[in-house]
A and B are shown apart, each in its own frame.
Chain A
Amino acid sequence: MSERIKEAPLRNVTFGTATESLLPEAIEHTMIESEGPEVLVKPEIIERRVVRPFPTWLRFLRSGCYLIRYSPARIVSTIGMHYDGTLRVERQETNTTASGDLYLHQIVTWPNAFPILEPNPATGIPIFARNRYRYYIRVTQILEWYSLGNSFTLGFELYYFDMSSKNWTNTGTFSALMKWTPSPPGYPSSSDYLTGEVKNSSGTLVGYLTMGWVSSYLRRATLEIDRVSASEWPLNNGAGIGWREIYDKVGWDVNIICSDSDVSEPSGESWSDAELHAAMLSRRNSSNLDTDWPYHVLCVRRIDSTPRGIMYDTSGTDSNNVPREGAGISSHWIIPDTPQWGLVRNMRFGTATAPYFRTAVHEIGHAHLLYHNTGDLGIMNTTDVIAASASPPVLFPNNIQWSHHPDDQKRLRHLPDIWVRPGGIPWGASYGTAPISPDEMAHPEGIELDVYPEIKSVPLGAPVRVNFKLVNTTADEPLPVPSNLSMKSGHISGKVYDPSGTERTFSTIIRCIEEEAIRMLEGGKSIANSVTLLRGGQGTLFPTSGYYKVVIDVMWDYKGVNYKVTGETNLMITPLEDQKHARAATKILSTPDALLTLVFGGDHLKEGIEAIHEGIDNPVLRPHYTLIEAKRIGNRFGTRKADLKRAADLLDKDTVMSPPEAKRIAKMFSEQKTKQTTKEKGNKISSILKDKLKAVENDEDTKKLLDSL
């Protein structure tokens, strides 16, 4: 063991093959011999029994990992097929977030085939084979605090995962009344075991669920580190923070194994990605990704494709077609001798303990299928950005934040197993494709959200304008609300339910990354804005005629707590009136760039502009699109000047616009007043806009704006 390692106390680090646990609590190792293909993994740390000082009639749901079993009602009495899995319960003060995964447990009847063993709760967090993965449990309702009785309602959605297409399908909303019952033998805590009947949204019994607490951690994994003799072990930051401390924050029980220190260099000091991958395959101790979550770090002198580190196990260099198993870091990169690099400038990377260790943690983050995150100076931001962000007197690397960004922490805790585990979903999948349990949001007392459509009946193919107003219903108590309610602020999102009940979501497509500003809204006052809806994450939001429900969520953070207020409204999408209307509506609804033109404007999205023009040329859709075109041509783009004359000509009393749109157009005309607009046109625009705004409470600035036209 090197001197450097001795200086920093290490927890739960293994050298060679012996495992030592240096955790402060009393622990007990349990060795389980493997039998058959479903091998249970090595010793699991189990907790002492906890004696609770609370009365037995007051129950709370213990945080940690639960071993769960779901048995569908229609087959439970026959061939015994069921699902095993885990439910992860995380509690942060008064907020509880939970998620889970289900793996198929098929009863094997084929001659000579190995049976699948039931997971052993005594060994802690179970690991299941990847090819048995079936569902993600997105928990929407759970016990937040204490229950006065012996039960609580667990609400969840089940997302089926298609292994071949890598797509997720929401199979429905379910609930289960979970009751505490004594556990069967083997569970570490007999009082943290619950059973319940699962019912669908119609109230029909569909299955049975059991859940028993097995660990205070949420997930577990193994990290093996190998190195060439000249490279250092990346074990900690030199100031007491190592792998264990980083992963404890996200509820992962990670076993660190420092294995080979004599890896030979295949072709000199610099390694190709393929050589790194080959060395991992030949040197690693464990390759069974179905009984463990083994990650691998290889420390070498230099890497061909990067100066510091790389998660090489993506597509092209993945010779075994198993993604995200390992990463490489280089110890002999010389940090540039420039001020940006602060205290470690001109050092050999392996001797710059903190950034060297950070790079290893960062690359394993990519192996968890985490992408770069510039939201803070945490683990998944890049070293360059962190170094460039340092400002005296704090120099790099002292400005490194030794934790994952809160969004990444949530991902590590609650994204599906198949996302974060090695050998799961391949590199390049987008976060938006995976389901994840919602954070529990607090309701802001005294704040309500009024939502109403600009017009109640909208023709098919037209954008739907929905207004909303955040109201402080108290008499005189100022309350904190977001100061900016535009879509770009990121506070606004929502759902649209079509006549068949299908849900489609929408949120901002661009985000202004600024300090979130909160303002105090006085009692009895309100702030308003609107959204113009056309397309969302699943495509067209209003694909057919009929009765729709629109739900708007306004979310914001105030002093570390997430608040959410929701409002909803209804409207009618009217059917196609004739062939020309049908042609125009089809063109618009099948052109994704129509939304981008609506949002960005400009002249570069030819297809989007073409679609908007089809709308303008159709008498049914024209009133809904003229404002969009007026806004586009009334602003300059590149070498094209603003054409206020044409913009003014587009507007008339039939033009549909929300009050915020009217204010923005008024501002556009006022700011770009030129000889293009005559006094007559100015009066016409002013009259139209005043008419649109008369029903809305206007501030002094808006009144002055209208007068200036």
Chain B
Amino acid sequence: MATFRVALTFYHSKIYKNGYCEYRLLTLTIMSVALTILTGMFLLTNEEAQGMALDSTKNTYKILKGLWEKITESECSNEYPDLIEFKEAGIYIGSKNSGEFTIWDTGSYEIISGNSIKISTANDAEIKYTFFVDKGNLTFTDGNNCKFVYEKR
């Protein structure tokens, strides 16, 4: 891309010889160079950002890994397990103290971004939830706006 812009600039400098055109050429040249530099910076930043996101996601997997106990008591959160363990390889196991049905019984989980996670459910649907972790508490919000909190055991 940078090479093309330089070649284009050189091509134009060959064609136009009067002062006005030379002024325009100079502007074009400066803009091309600036664009090249900016493109390079964007690509570099994006790679860095991707790298950082990857690191952040890996970190989130580490933070999630382990056993969590639900501390919210609400009707809307009743279908979610009382205990959930996030394991290696994106697998989780959930259970209710009473042995009742829970929508998160076992399956896979995948962190989509810093606050979005996809969890497979009891009938194998994969559903996205928002989540955040703060001081040993893991808070989920489901599609019905039900918010419920787990505490690390």
Distance between Cα atoms of A456 and B99 in the complex (Å): 31
Closest chain B residue to A305 by CB distance?
B125
Cβ of A371 and Cβ of B105 under 8 Å apart? Answer: yes
Distance between Cα atoms of A427 and B124 in the complex (Å): 13
Distance in Å from the Cβ of A505 to the closest Cβ of chain B? 12
Cβ of A312 and Cβ of B90 under 8 Å apart? Answer: no
When distances are taken between beta carbons in the complex, the residues of chain A under 8 Å from B107 are: 372, 382, 384-385
Q: How would residues 105 to 135 of chain B score, 1 for a CB under 8 Å from any chain A CB and 0 otherwise? A: 1111000000000001011111100000000
The number of residues on chain A lying at the interface, defined by a beta carbon within 8 Å of a beta carbon of chain B, is 33
When distances are taken between beta carbons in the complex, the residues of chain A under 8 Å from B90 are: 384
In the complex, whether B40 has a CB less than 8 A from a CB of chain A is no
Query: Looking at the complex, which of A77-85, A428-436, A695-703 is the stretch in contact with chain B?
Result: A428-436
Q: How would residues 551 to 577 of chain A score, 1 for a CB under 8 Å from any chain B CB and 0 otherwise? A: 000000000000000000000000000
Distance between Cα atoms of A543 and B98 in the complex (Å): 19
Distance in Å from the Cβ of A310 to the closest Cβ of chain B? 5
* Contact (A427, B99) CB under 8 Å given A384-B91, A388-B91: no
In the complex, whether A466 has a CB less than 8 A from a CB of chain B is no
Q: Which of B69, B99, B106, B124 contacts A374 (CB 8 A)?
A: B106
Distance between Cα atoms of A307 and B98 in the complex (Å): 31
Cβ of A430 and Cβ of B126 under 8 Å apart? Answer: no
Interface residues of A in 356-394 (CB under 8 A from B): 362-363, 366, 371-372, 374, 381-382, 384-385, 388
Closest chain A residue to B99 by CB distance?
A432
Cβ of B136 and Cβ of A306 under 8 Å apart? Answer: no
Q: Which of A340, A381, A604 contacts B71 (CB 8 A)?
A: A604
Cβ of A429 and Cβ of B106 under 8 Å apart? Answer: no
When distances are taken between beta carbons in the complex, the residues of chain B under 8 Å from A311 are: 123-124
In the complex, whether B145 has a CB less than 8 A from a CB of chain A is no
When distances are taken between beta carbons in the complex, the residues of chain A under 8 Å from B106 are: 372, 374, 381-382, 385
Cβ of A306 and Cβ of B124 under 8 Å apart? Answer: yes
Cβ of A430 and Cβ of B99 under 8 Å apart? Answer: yes
Distance between Cα atoms of A382 and B121 in the complex (Å): 11
With most chain B CB atoms within 10 A of its CB, the pick from A273, A312, A340, A384 is A384
When distances are taken between beta carbons in the complex, the residues of chain B under 8 Å from A638 are: 136
In the complex, whether B1 has a CB less than 8 A from a CB of chain A is no
Distance in Å from the Cβ of A616 to the closest Cβ of chain B? 23
Cβ of B71 and Cβ of A371 under 8 Å apart? Answer: no
In the complex, whether A596 has a CB less than 8 A from a CB of chain B is yes
Interface residues of A in 586-609 (CB under 8 A from B): 596, 604
| Number of A-B pairs, beta carbon distance below 8 Å | 73
Q: Which of A308, A312, A432 contacts B123 (CB 8 A)?
A: A312
Distance in Å from the Cβ of A148 to the closest Cβ of chain B? 42
* Contact (A604, B151) CB under 8 Å given A340-B89, A432-B100: yes
Cβ of A306 and Cβ of B126 under 8 Å apart? Answer: yes
In the complex, whether A655 has a CB less than 8 A from a CB of chain B is no
In the complex, whether B28 has a CB less than 8 A from a CB of chain A is no
With most chain B CB atoms within 10 A of its CB, the pick from A366, A371, A427 is A371
Distance in Å from the Cβ of A430 to the closest Cβ of chain B? 4
Distance between Cα atoms of A510 and B69 in the complex (Å): 13
When distances are taken between beta carbons in the complex, the residues of chain A under 8 Å from B120 are: 306, 382, 384
In the complex, whether A442 has a CB less than 8 A from a CB of chain B is no
* Contact (A509, B71) CB under 8 Å given A306-B125, A314-B123, A384-B91: no
Cβ of A374 and Cβ of B122 under 8 Å apart? Answer: no
DSSP majority for the A interface? loop
In the complex, whether B101 has a CB less than 8 A from a CB of chain A is yes
In the complex, whether B18 has a CB less than 8 A from a CB of chain A is no
Distance in Å from the Cβ of B50 to the closest Cβ of chain A? 19
Distance between Cα atoms of A362 and B134 in the complex (Å): 37
Closest chain A residue to B70 by CB distance?
A604
When distances are taken between beta carbons in the complex, the residues of chain A under 8 Å from B91 are: 384-385, 388
Interface residues of A in 373-427 (CB under 8 A from B): 374, 381-382, 384-385, 388, 427
* Contact (A596, B97) CB under 8 Å given A374-B106, A384-B90: yes
When distances are taken between beta carbons in the complex, the residues of chain B under 8 Å from A362 are: 124
In the complex, whether B25 has a CB less than 8 A from a CB of chain A is no
Closest chain B residue to A313 by CB distance?
B123
Distance between Cα atoms of A305 and B93 in the complex (Å): 20
Cβ of B97 and Cβ of A384 under 8 Å apart? Answer: no
* Contact (A430, B71) CB under 8 Å given A305-B126, A638-B136: no
Distance between Cα atoms of A373 and B143 in the complex (Å): 26
Cβ of A427 and Cβ of B123 under 8 Å apart? Answer: yes
When distances are taken between beta carbons in the complex, the residues of chain A under 8 Å from B125 are: 273, 305-306, 310, 312
When distances are taken between beta carbons in the complex, the residues of chain A under 8 Å from B123 are: 310-312, 314, 366, 427
When distances are taken between beta carbons in the complex, the residues of chain B under 8 Å from A366 are: 122-124
Closest chain A residue to B83 by CB distance?
A510
When distances are taken between beta carbons in the complex, the residues of chain A under 8 Å from B105 are: 371-372
Q: How would residues 295 to 309 of chain A score, 1 for a CB under 8 Å from any chain B CB and 0 otherwise? A: 000000000011111
Cβ of B126 and Cβ of A307 under 8 Å apart? Answer: yes
Distance between Cα atoms of A309 and B126 in the complex (Å): 10
Distance in Å from the Cβ of B144 to the closest Cβ of chain A? 11
When distances are taken between beta carbons in the complex, the residues of chain B under 8 Å from A314 are: 123
Distance between Cα atoms of A305 and B98 in the complex (Å): 29
Q: How would residues 44 to 60 of chain B score, 1 for a CB under 8 Å from any chain A CB and 0 otherwise? A: 00000000000000000
Distance between Cα atoms of A310 and B127 in the complex (Å): 12
Interface residues of B in 79-98 (CB under 8 A from A): 79, 88-91, 93, 97-98
* Contact (A308, B124) CB under 8 Å given A385-B91, A385-B106, A604-B151: yes
Q: Which of B89, B101, B108 contacts A371 (CB 8 A)?
A: B101
When distances are taken between beta carbons in the complex, the residues of chain B under 8 Å from A374 are: 93, 106
Distance between Cα atoms of A510 and B98 in the complex (Å): 9
Distance in Å from the Cβ of A263 to the closest Cβ of chain B? 21
When distances are taken between beta carbons in the complex, the residues of chain A under 8 Å from B126 are: 305-307
When distances are taken between beta carbons in the complex, the residues of chain B under 8 Å from A305 are: 125-127
Closest chain A residue to B122 by CB distance?
A371
Closest chain B residue to A511 by CB distance?
B95
A sample of 15 cross-chain residue pairs with beta-carbon separation below 8 angstroms, ordered by A number, consists of A306-B120, A306-B124, A362-B124, A366-B123, A371-B101, A372-B106, A381-B106, A382-B106, A382-B120, A384-B90, A388-B88, A427-B123, A429-B101, A430-B101, A432-B99
Chain A contacts to B: CB under 8 angstroms: 273, 305-312, 314, 340, 362-363, 366, 371-372, 374, 381-382, 384-385, 388, 427-432, 509-510, 596, 604, 638
Further pairs besides A428-B101, A604-B71: 8, Cβ < 8 Å: A310-B124, A363-B124, A382-B107, A384-B107, A384-B108, A384-B120, A427-B123, A430-B100
Chain B contacts to A: CB under 8 angstroms: 69, 71, 79, 88-91, 93, 97-101, 105-108, 120, 122-127, 136, 151
